[in-house]
Amino acid sequence: MATVFTPWKDESALLAVRNEFYPPPGYNGPDHRSHACKIVALWKQKGTLPHPVEATALLTDAILHDDAERNSVFSIRATYSAAFCRFVTGLVDSKLHGQRKTMFARAMDLGLPASFVELRHEATHRELPSLVVLRKAASRSLDWLWGYYWGELSSSGATGIPPIKEMIRSSLKETTKGKHPASLNQLAARLGAACQSERGVYTLARVLIDEAILNTTEHTLDVALDLLLQKLTDNKPVFLSVLVEEMVNDLVFASSDNNNNNKVDPEDSRNDLYMWLDHILSSPEWESARRVLSRGYLDAACKNPGYWTDRLRRLNTRDPLVSLSLPDPANDLHMRVETGWDSLKDYGWCS
């Protein structure tokens, strides 16, 4: 096995920097983020640095630069935009390897939200986004980087995800059929507290899928769980987009071995995911919530061939409210340039 050289001495040094970028819950000590940025800058001088590490430092440095008393608003916006665009571009470019893929397709391979690609296009080719949008973009990017890179590092110390994940797991155990509405309200409030960050929203969506909580009983959806998901969407609209993106990701991409096989096992758990997507995207109960749903990722997924994408495509065109009309990702360079900020509002970037 080839030796892997890293700019840090050992993994403990990397974990120490991680804890400075992402302090554990309940931490009330001094802010060490500036120190972490300086360490990463030194590592950058020593040699090749993993893109997630550099991107985390750039985004964090942009947040620290956000001081109107010391810097102009234009400078703050430009710093945010540069850090965000480098984060997205460097990430999707690193997956090229000679293959001709659109940025949208490469982002899907990584599980990167479609709205990140949209916002990068806006910041690069149009006006600089507002400070409200850029601050939200930096926060969501750091949360995504945690799940993609930092949270995967081995560590015996406490970090943000495990406590949140355990709390979500224990709370969802209370979700049973026939649960009293008052109890569902309390449960929705507890889970909503875990969704204050993008990291928490993503974790909740993954627990629902990975722990088989969305699995149906005799192909019947859990009414209490359906009500809970609606309440969570009411409290945190971005939750619905994240949940749908993760369900689509597992349905279409997570297990591609039989994606083109029309003879799907009736016991395949993806049947349950499809039932939930069908219900969310076409039922009257979800009609109001669908107005806040970002469908870009779903539309891009439907461009791929396969059994599940064929079913999703038919589902998308069944109801005018659900029908999608995004341009072909093959025209990535000009993708949705005419939609501007109106489309990004659907992704939750604008307040």
Low-confidence ranges of the chain (pLDDT < 70): 1-4, 94-101, 154-164, 174-182, 253-267, 317-351
pLDDT reported for residue 299: 77
pLDDT reported for residue 286: 93
Q: Could you tell me the pTM of the whole model?
A: 0.54
pLDDT reported for residue 217: 77
84 Cβ contact list (under 8 Å, min separation 6): 59, 62, 119, 120, 123, 134, 137, 138, 141
The answer to whether the beta carbons of residues 58 and 89 sit under 8 Å apart is no
